[in-house]
Amino acid sequence: MTNKPLISIIIPVFNAEDFLAKCLESVIGQTYANLEIILINDGSHDNSLEICRTYAARDNRIIVLTQENQGNSVARNKGIETAKGEFITFIDADDFVDSRLVELLLDSCIANNTLLSISDGYIYKDFSDIKEIDDVENLTDNTLIPSDYNGMYHHTPWRKLYHRSLLANIRFPNGLYHEDIGFWYGVMSVSPNISVVKKPLYYYRQNNQNSITIREIDILRRSLDGVRSFEYGLKLIEENAKDKKFAEMVNALVESYYELPFICEKKEWFKKQAEFLNKLKKYKPILNKTNKSKLNKLLCQTSIKFKKHFDRFMYPIINFPKWITEPIAIVRYGIITLCEYLYCQYEDLCKK
């Protein structure tokens, strides 16, 4: 690793004219200067492309690529293929970052001899409503094992710095919503450990109505793609992880799958979930073996078994009137939430 390696920043752009300038100002103002800034205009029909070109004329580190609208996955993959940096990071066009983001993430990789680093961040709609993600700030160590990092926002591609060797055989699955889930499990399956920067350096905006996660999308499609992205992640784990690492990653994926349920009152979704659960059957001997406590294991298994059996019950009645199915779905959610709340509380208790 050279002292000042080139770092590629990949930014997919879709109809982000209201936020793009703030994002780009935060990127070109980084305290670390040896950057390659790749903007991929994903078929925007507002002034985003013009803004990209204006900034490229001002800063020769900026490269502007264009494509027909194909989604974040294709745009990010094109960025990976184009990137020449030794390290790569992703930023969304409607977000912005602290001026020290790149510098501190790189310093963390160098100091801890890792190929992957992560910082904390903020989630906000406006600056009167801002909260810290806070999933690495309170860690006692400066590094963690990938399978131990299973927070709510763990799968997001942003606020992380990746050595390009990690992405040699890892790409985002094309054409899926929730594509970041499968990608992240691919990365974790090849990364020995993660170094952490215990500072909030990324600002994630939740209220962009053009965002791919906010736009009105068929709920069935989004729910099916959620399961498909987990399937893609499992495929990458099978291809890349070995021995103990393999067991750790399968456990992490299964626990995350049940913490991030994609609920849809359609037969197609229940059928797809059943197919995925059947794929996991062959890994039953290794599931939950990495849990250190019997209570921890019991709570996790309770949540998983309840969901599996309850959803089998829901399948034949899913087309019943909503006054029947909706109260049942509420009960389902309540019991699952309670199991997972107790699970998390016990985890926190063990750390104290």
Instruction: Domain ranges for the chain, please list them.
Output: 7-205, 219-351
Q: Could you tell me which of 96, 79, 1, 82 has the C-alpha nearest to residue 41? A: 79
Q: Is the pLDDT of residue 349 over 50?
A: no
Q: Cα–Cα distance between 186 and 238 in angstroms, integer?
A: 9
Token digits of residue 312: 């089998």
- Tell me whether strands 160-163 and 116-126 are parallel, antiparallel or unpaired: antiparallel
Q: What is the pLDDT of residues 217-261, one digit of tens each?
A: 577 888 889 889 999 999 999 999 988 889 888 888 887 886 665
Compute the distance between CA of residue 232 and CA of residue 167 in angstroms, rounded to an integer: 15
**pTM of this prediction?**
0.80
Residues 299 and 255: their CA atoms lie apart, in Å, by: 11
pLDDT given for residue 108 in this prediction:
96
Most confident of the ranges 60-69, 177-186, 276-285: 60-69
Cα–Cα distance between 15 and 336 in angstroms, integer? 37
Residue 336, pLDDT > 60, answer: yes
Fold of the CATH domain 7-205: Spore Coat Polysaccharide Biosynthesis Protein SpsA; Chain A (3.90.550)
- 7: DSSP letter: E
Q: Identity (one letter) of the amino acid at 9?
A: I
213 against 308, higher pLDDT: 308
- Where does the pLDDT of residue 342 fall: very low under 50, low under 70, confident under 90, or very high at 90 and above? low
Residue 222 confidence (pLDDT): 84
Mean of pLDDT values over 37-51: 97
pLDDT digits (tens, 9 = 90+) for 254-313: 878 866 656 666 778 777 877 887 787 788 777 765 444 444 555 555 555 555 556 555
The secondary structure of 167-216 as a DSSP string is: GSS--PPTT-TTHHHHHHHHHHHH-S-EEEEEEEEEEEES--TTSTTTS-
Q: CA end-to-end span of the chain, whole Å?
A: 37
Q: Is residue 309 exposed (0-12), middle (13-18) or buried (19+ Cβ within 10 Å)?
A: exposed
Say if residue 187's pLDDT is above 70: yes
Residue 344 has a pLDDT of 54
Cα distance between residue 231 and residue 235, in whole Å: 6
Across the range 167-192, mean pLDDT stands at 93
Name residues whose C-beta falls within 8 Å of residue 263's C-beta, 6 or more positions apart in sequence: 223, 269, 329, 333
Mean residue pLDDT across the chain:
82
Three-state DSSP at 300 gives helix
- Report the pLDDT averaged over residues 151-165: 89
What does the alpha-carbon distance between residue 154 and residue 135 come to, in Å, rounded to a whole number?
Answer: 8
Provide the Cα torsion 3, 189, 121, 111; round to 10°.
-30
